[in-house]
Amino acid sequence: MKRLIVASAKTIGGEVAALSSDKSISHRVAIFSLLSDRPSIAANFLRAEDTLRSLSIVERLGAKVGFSGETLRIEPPSAIEEPSDYLECGNAGTAMRLFIGLLSSQSGFFALSGDKYLNNRPMKRVVAPLKEIGASIDGRKEASYAPIAIRGNPNLASFDYESLVSSAQVKSALILAGINANGGIFCEPELSRDHTERMLKAMGADIHVQNGKIAIAKKTAPLKPLNLRVPCDPSSGFFFAVAAAITPRSDLLLKNVTLNPTRIEAYKVLRDMGAKVEFIEKENDFEPIGDIRVRYGELNAIEINKNVSWLIDELPAMAIAFAFARGVSRVTNAAELRVKESDRIKSVVGNLIKCGVLAKELPDGFEIAGQERVGGAIVDSFGDHRVAMSFAVAALRADGEIIVNDSECVATSFPNFLEIYRSLGGAIEEQTVEN
Ligand code: S3P
């Protein structure tokens, strides 16, 4: 087992020019390349465990994949090939759910599986609406969990689906099924991250968004290939944003991050709490891209209950900001946290309590009372990359070291996390210990 040993720091700061690339966009680059008949090119593709899973699945489906230095080239097959073995998604929920959508509308037999965490995350949210339009999908516990087996059918019926959860993965799975089959209309309670809509539009898909409804038409010809530079990931950057916000005199600049409004809500919350946050937009192709500057400011407690899907991935790190804010902060309307890479309500609250913080689980969120400093502690990642990195940040203002057990998971999204943490002035070590 690997573990992180993290000490406090008086201040942190500097410029992060090579933050990890955006995970959501990288998954989509790999998967959407199969919708074209010409090679897609992407600079700065995220080479982390999760996104490399998507890339190797694309390869197993017949694409030719190669890196030339920084640049990824994916040459799609003329038709998706039936793989001779199951497709391994590892820890990547985005890979599994988007491939379920795409493959349910392709000729052939496909089986998908993941690690012990992913195989216990709900798949019914994508499987049920796909079955309603005729998809043939089976899996564990009546197709609620992976392993999942799909007998693809290019003739799925058109859908008019009102999702009960705001989830970009559910939305993207339906859109991918519709684009190959007979189109459809999708709507969700609150807009979730919209990379799929933006990227497919850039590829020339017939996709329209109006009054919260997304209409996707069947593609009548292969789409244009992608040619882009993947921006950096604001969700990965947010660990350092919290680090700067809680550590006196800190000044941090995150370079070339996507400033897509569905992705930077957490930074706005941090600003509302008292940190100094500026967005400097530099380009706007199909995603606005620019720099984010975050400086220390005394934090006050806050309540969060709307636009939750815009900051869902950032809530574990946000909980650390809450632990140092004056007053009691509360998140509700975030039951989705229970079905992420871990039950993030339980993991975050349990770990905070170990650090001596007054924290309480709510059915759909948590409540945290802020304090000056937290105690050193041994905490667990629960196999969840975002929990591991959040507690590495909490250590910056801890009396004593914080040790984060089971830290291998950091590599699923952020292979250079430790390097950047150190470059900003943090003291972090990784050890391998026997279980
Ligand atoms: C993602 C969507 C979100 C997010 C996940 C990545 C995506 O999940 O939590 O990390 O790339 O579509 P949900 O769609 O389940 O909310």
Domain layout of the chain by residue ranges: 2-21+231-432, 23-229
Binding site membership of 312 for ligand 1 (Cβ less than 6 Å): yes
Locate the ligand 1 atom nearest the alpha carbon of residue 172 and give its number.
12
Task: Report the CATH architecture of 2-21+231-432.
Answer: Alpha-beta prism (3.65)
Which of 193, 236, 260, 308 for a ligand 1 pocket mutation test, highest count of atoms within 8 Å of Cβ? 193
What pLDDT, in 10s, does the model give residues 35-81?
999 999 999 999 999 999 999 999 999 999 999 998 999 999 999 99
| pLDDT attached to residue 435 | 76
What pLDDT, in 10s, does the model give residues 130-185?
999 999 999 999 999 999 999 999 999 999 999 999 999 999 999 999 999 999 99
366 Cα–ligand 1 center, Å = 20
Fold match between 2-21+231-432 and 23-229? Answer: yes
Residues present in the chain in total: 435
CATH 3.40.50.1580 fits 23-229, yes or no: no
Q: Which residues have C-beta within 8 Å of that of residue 81, sequence separation ≥ 6?
A: 60, 61, 62, 108
313 carries an active-site annotation? yes
393 Cα–ligand 1 center, Å = 23
Binding site membership of 342 for ligand 1 (Cβ less than 6 Å): no
Positions in the chain whose pLDDT score sits under 70 = none
Binding site membership of 36 for ligand 1 (Cβ less than 6 Å): no
Locate the ligand 1 atom nearest the alpha carbon of residue 313 and give its number.
9
| pLDDT attached to residue 425 | 97
Binding site membership of 182 for ligand 1 (Cβ less than 6 Å): no
Q: Which residues have C-beta within 8 Å of that of residue 104, sequence separation ≥ 6?
A: 130, 135, 136, 137, 150, 152, 153, 156, 177
Which residue owns the Cα nearest ligand 1 atom 2?
168
| pLDDT attached to residue 170 | 98
Binding site membership of 384 for ligand 1 (Cβ less than 6 Å): no
Which residue owns the Cα nearest ligand 1 atom 9?
313
**How far is residue 97's CA from residue 331's CA, in Å, rounded to a whole number?**
26
Binding site membership of 196 for ligand 1 (Cβ less than 6 Å): no
Structure tokens at 261: 């409004």
